[in-house]
Structure 1
């Protein structure tokens, strides 16, 4: 199996590698967030709860 690195001078330490992975993960989470739109049925239920809450006050 070929080495992941061309030579030892290209290796990075574990801490740097972890920082890079964390940064990439954070950016992916920000860009790949699911659509905030709820299913229609849940929207209707939330609307009913809001109406009941307003009516009770």
Structure 2
């Protein structure tokens, strides 16, 4: 992901970034019901995120 660097903004610390990611993930889970068929690229990205999360825990 590309982050925009704006001289007027402050950097986001890890805890805040994690909270934002968790909130976005929860909203996606609510929007994408289990019966929703994901496209192949989105399925691959979801698998990649799961592997990354598993490595962090």
Query: Normalised by the size of structure 1, how large is the TM-score?
Result: 0.46
The answer to which structure, 1 or 2, has the higher relative contact order (CA under 8 A, 6+ apart) is 1
Q: Higher helix proportion, which one?
A: 1
Could you say which structure has the larger radius of gyration?
1
TM-score, scaled relative to structure 2:
0.46
